[in-house]
Structure 1
Amino acid sequence: MKALIGKTALAAVLALGAGAASAGVTVNYVESDKFADLPFAPWERKEVLDDLASFFAELGKSLPAGQDLTVDVTEIDLAGREYPNSRGARDLRILKGGADWPIMELRYTLSANGQVLTSGNAKLTDMNYLGRVNRMSDGDRLRYEKRMIEDWFNKTILQKKS
């Protein structure tokens, strides 16, 4: 699982491409095998972590030139609850909108030219995840988590008012 952390962090940086070499995002998953809620199957867990790292990298493209963001994710609890599928396909995730909202805990550092601009800990939550408009595709199984991450990124990193 430790190898997964390094590969995921590298994938997040590489996802930025050559055009954004001056701004980058590094995502590390700290003890991801202990996260509260990820899919049961190892390949699905990796898929979810890679997808979230790629999304952080996509958001990082809006950072000013020379700024770098490091995110250490310490906890993930995805929206809904997962139930094993007895037919061998993907497990079934049920979204009820009750006490099953997405939660993510992380540490972050935004730096430029080796100087720390801001850093801290954050607990991202979206208790009303089913009641809000979501610009993410209905086919994106992490659309609620991504909206929550994007809201945090805009308010905390880019300091945009919503």
Structure 2
Amino acid sequence: MKFSSFAPTLLVGLLLAAPAAASSDVTDPKAPRSLPAEGRVDVSWTDPAQFSEIRQSNNRWEARRGDWVQQIAKYVRKRAEQRLPEGDRMSVTINDIRRAGQFEPWRGANVSSTRFVRDIYPPRIELSFTLTGADGRVIAQGERKLTDLAFLMNTPTAGSSDNLRYEKRLIDDWLSKEFKRPDA
């Protein structure tokens, strides 16, 4: 195959791949701001471009990459559904996220996309929720600011490769304190 006939094919391939790369930006205005309605827990989130994770990041481009907001929302839904009594419903809005760790660009270009997890960069999540009973009346509601300043000392996470393990532990801690299991 000659290069002159290969170049247009390569160009078309790159153009088709571009939207896929662009969709991995959590601040994309066309990206959804809620999980699809299903189950007993609805989870939505405010504009991720306003999240502390993006605004206060030392590498905003890297902080915007991925689908971490949806992963956290799915985790909230999954874990909350396990704690709700039959018939109850919950609506959760994630208002802010600051992931554990930080990018430290002063360490050099070779590690500019590396998140350094140290105790001075604890995870934080702000959310609001409404819990309604099977009869439709509000059982509980409020706003919560979740944080764990000792996140590196709590529950060993050695060997865990989940990039959101600290944020997920915040969610688990909140749910276990706020909502007792129905079977307990």
Q: Is the 8 A contact 1:5 1:29 kept in 2?
A: no
1:91, 1:9 → 2: CA distance?
Answer: 28
2:99 alignment partner AA: L
2:101 alignment partner AA: G
1:90, 1:4 → 2: CA distance?
Answer: 26
- The count of corresponding residues between Structure 1 and Structure 2 is 146
Shift of 1:83: 4.7
- Say whether residues 1:49 and 2:69 are aligned partners: yes
Aligned to 2:52: 36
The structure number with the bigger radius of gyration is 2
Unaligned 5+ runs, structure 2: 1-27, 55-59
Aligned to 2:171: 149
- Alignment partner of 1:115 out of 137, 158, 172: 137
- Say whether residues 1:97 and 2:113 are aligned partners: no
Of Structure 1 and Structure 2, the greater helix share is in 2
1:9 alignment partner AA: L
Q: Is the 8 A contact 1:134 1:143 kept in 2?
A: no
1:52, 1:76 → 2: CA distance?
Answer: 10
Shift of 1:137: 6.3
1:117, 1:136 → 2: CA distance?
Answer: 38
Aligned to 1:18: none
1:136, 1:59 → 2: CA distance?
Answer: 22
Unaligned 5+ runs, structure 1: 15-20
Runs of 4+ in 1 over 3 A off after TM superposition: 83-87, 134-137
Identity of aligned residues (%): 25
1:73 alignment partner AA: I
Alignment TM-score, normalising by the size of structure 2: 0.68
1:123 is paired with a residue whose SS is strand
2:73 alignment partner AA: A
Of Structure 1 and Structure 2, the greater strand share is in 1
2:116 alignment partner AA: I
Shift of 1:25: 1.3
2:80 alignment partner AA: G
Q: 1:112 to 1:69 in 2, by over 3 A?
A: same
